[in-house]
Amino acid sequence: MLIKQLKALFVYLLILWLSSAALVCQSQEQLGKADAPLALVDATALAKKTGAVAVDLKRKDFMLRENGVPQEIAYFSREELPLSVMLLLDVSSASARLSMKEVQRTAKDALARLKPQDKAVLMIIGEKPHLIVELTADHAQIAKEIDDIWLNTAGLRLGVSINLSIREAARYLRQKTEPGERHAIVIITDDKSPSRAQGGGPQRDSILEALDENDVTLCGTLVTPSKDPNKEFAVGMTAASTVANPILGLPMILFGALSRSSTGGGGVSYFAERTGGVAIKANGAAVGRVFVEMMEMLRARYTLGYHPPASPADGKLREIKLTVNPRVQQEQGEVLILTRHGYYPHQPLPRLEMLKTAPHPNNENQPSITQNEVAHL
CATH of the domain at 220: 3.40.50.410
Q: Are residues 279 and 308 in the same domain?
A: no
Q: Note whether 277 and 204 are same-domain residues.
A: yes
Domain shared by 107 and 232, yes or no: yes
**Which amino acid does the sequence have at 91?**
V
Q: Check pLDDT > 60 for residue 90.
A: yes
Q: Do 292 and 307 have their domain in common?
A: no
CB 376 within 8 A of CB 72: yes
d(CA 115, CA 124): 23
Please check whether residue 7 lies inside any domain of the structure.
Answer: no
Tens digit of each residue's pLDDT (9 = 90 or more) over 330-350: 888 899 999 999 988 877 777
The answer to the question of residue 240 being in a domain is yes
Query: Structurally, how many domains does the chain consist of?
Result: 2
Give the predicted TM-score (pTM) of the model.
0.77
Residue 18 lies in a domain: no
Q: How far apart are CA 186 and CA 296, in angstroms?
A: 12
Predicted confidence at residue 62, as pLDDT, reads: 96
Considering 278, 299, 320, which residue would you say is the last residue of a domain? Answer: 299
Strand 335-339 and strand 39-47: the pairing is antiparallel
Lowest mean pLDDT among 125-129, 253-257, 288-292: 253-257
Q: Nearest to residue 98, comparing CAs of 284, 348, 301, 337?
A: 284
* 328: Cα separation from own chain's centroid: 23
pLDDT of amino acid 57: 93
Task: State yes or no: pLDDT of 86 exceeds 90.
Answer: yes
**Residue 262 belongs to some domain of the structure:** yes
What pLDDT does residue 229 have? 38
Instruction: Give helix 204-213 / helix 268-275 axis angle, nearest 10°.
Output: 30
Query: Which residue range is the domain that position 316 belongs to?
Result: 34-79+302-373
Q: How confident is the model at residue 302 (pLDDT cuts 50, 70, 90)?
A: very high
Q: Is the pLDDT of residue 26 over 50?
A: no
Q: What pLDDT digit, counting tens, does each position of 209-252 carry?
A: 999 988 999 999 999 876 543 343 333 333 333 333 333 333 55
- What rounded mean pLDDT belongs to the chain? 76
Judge if 240 and 341 occupy the same domain. no
Same domain (yes/no): 250, 159: yes
In single-letter form, the type of residue at position 111 comes to L
Mean pLDDT of 34-52: 85
Mean pLDDT computed over 271-289: 90
- pLDDT confidence band for 48 (50 / 70 / 90): confident
Do 60 and 154 reside in the same domain of the chain?
Answer: no
Residues 93 and 180 in one domain: yes
Strand-by-strand arrangement of the 342-343 sheet: 69-71, 62-66, 318-324, 342-343
